[in-house]
Amino acid sequence: MSSDIARGLRSGERRGIPVMVLRGGTSKGAYFLARDLPADPRERDALLLAVMGSPDPRQIDGIGGGHPLTSKVAVVSPSAEGESDVDYLFLQVQVDKPVVSAEQPCGNILAGVGPFAIERGLVAPSGEVTPVRVRMANTRALATVHVPTPAGRVEYAGTTAISGVPGTAARLIIDFRDTAGSVAPALLPTGNRVDTVDGVPATLIDNGMPVAILDATSVGVTGHETPAELESNPALRQRVESLRLAAGALMGLGHVATTTVPKMCLVAPPAQGGTLATRMFIPHRVHTAIGVLAAVTVGTAVAIPGTVAAAVARPAGADDVTSAGVIRLEHPTGWFDVVIDVSVTPDGVTVGRSSIVRTARLLLDGIVYPGPLRTLEERP
């Protein structure tokens, strides 16, 4: 979309933009072809604020759902690189602020990128399952989304259930490559499996998402509280944010007061037969589940001896789940399974395969009509 079209939208001209809305994993987002949006990032972001209805707690004048998990955008384009079929830029549109962030990827929305690319003709279906190779533009990491395509069409119906989503849908396998140190300088950016952050032991790690992992008891909770209980504890929230600012500096992320990374994960022994219980601050709200790349990162920490997560986790082989090579992370609304291939030698830690199971569903394919655009400076 050229700048003249963006100017037309800003003047109040009625002009629609093609969009698909998909549920990807436990998130929901608006999916656009890059060519349908302004090329200039500031014009694009102003448009997306108008599309989603931000800033407004209800996003009543847009298509956002009034929650960070339902105020997400995927911008997809053909890839010019041989290792990938499409490029995927994830944008988090804040609900109550005029802010659009591209500082991190989203693995849940990634689950919908494969179906979207096929639906929009960027990738041709091939056989019963079509692999869609995706370069995550936020970090340059690679993923392959394996999309069911019987009879040459995306299949959304199926028997796979994931926690946090009612019912069942078709099974999507997502394999990740080159995710170690996606945002931070390295898998273990300090070189340590445990650091002391303002007096609290923490594992600082990034295998797709920068996360600081703390034993929940070190900040005075059990790690089995509900998100509402954790969010209603102002002393805890202040303490977690203080630790996040310190962890961000140690991880080489700079001053992170205005960013959403690192995430903060409180861990505890499992309560439902899994490997580890998690409570994820994202960073100020508490996730009702756990993000895909955050789950991959926490699962990686479980697989590395000597980390905070490994010390709290149920030993591998303690049940059928972990003995099958699956790390099951419990979260407030269920569980999330990841498969992590980690090699630990005296020379360091190497991450091989990382895979997860997700589902996705097409909710809407149509035209969105944003309200009159304002510049970012004009928004309240």
Q: What is the pLDDT of residues 26-59, one digit of tens each?
A: 999 999 999 999 999 999 999 999 999 999 999 9
Identical fold at 3-171+360-378 and 195-354? yes
Q: Where are the alpha helices (DSSP H) in the chain?
A: 3-10, 41-52, 107-119, 227-231, 234-250, 292-302, 308-312, 320-323
- Give residue 321's pLDDT band: very low, low, confident or very high (50, 70, 90): very low
CATH for 195-354 is 3.10.310.10
Span 227-237, average pLDDT: 97
CA–CA dist 190, 250 (Å, integer): 7
pLDDT at 324: 46
Domain ranges for the chain = 3-171+360-378, 195-354
Tokens representing 125 are 């279906």
- pLDDT tens per residue across span 98-133: 999 998 889 999 999 999 999 999 999 999 999 999
pLDDT at 375: 53
Question: Are 43 and 56 spatial neighbours (Cβ–Cβ below 8 Å)?
Answer: no
Residue at token pair 């032991």: 201
CATH 3.40.50.1010 fits 3-171+360-378, yes or no: no
Half-sphere exposure of 348 (CA within 13 A, CB side): 9
